[in-house]
Amino acid sequence: MEQVSVRYIVHDVDSALEFYVQQLGFTEVMHPAPGFALLSRGRQALLEDPSGNVVELFEPLLPEAAHKSF
């Protein structure tokens, strides 16, 4: 099965990293800079960054991709 990647915009990468690792069981793959972290858990990859580039988030990578808001 393919890996599923999700990008989250967070205000505090370090706090989010601590929460996802300690509370949700993700593994830190890399944290090369204060503003970015890559985590994984099974087939899930979680990218955290505070960039706030909202336009990029809503441009689908594939024409058939759909966006859902929570």
pLDDT at 26: 92
> Given its phi and psi angles, is residue 58 left (phi above 0), alpha (psi -120 to 50 degrees) or beta?
alpha
- List the beta bridge partners of residue 28: 39
The pTM for the full model equals: 0.64
pLDDT at 28: 93
pLDDT at 62: 46
- Model confidence over 7-30: pLDDT tens digits? 888 888 899 999 999 999 999 999
The pLDDT confidence band at residue 55, using thresholds 50, 70 and 90, is very low
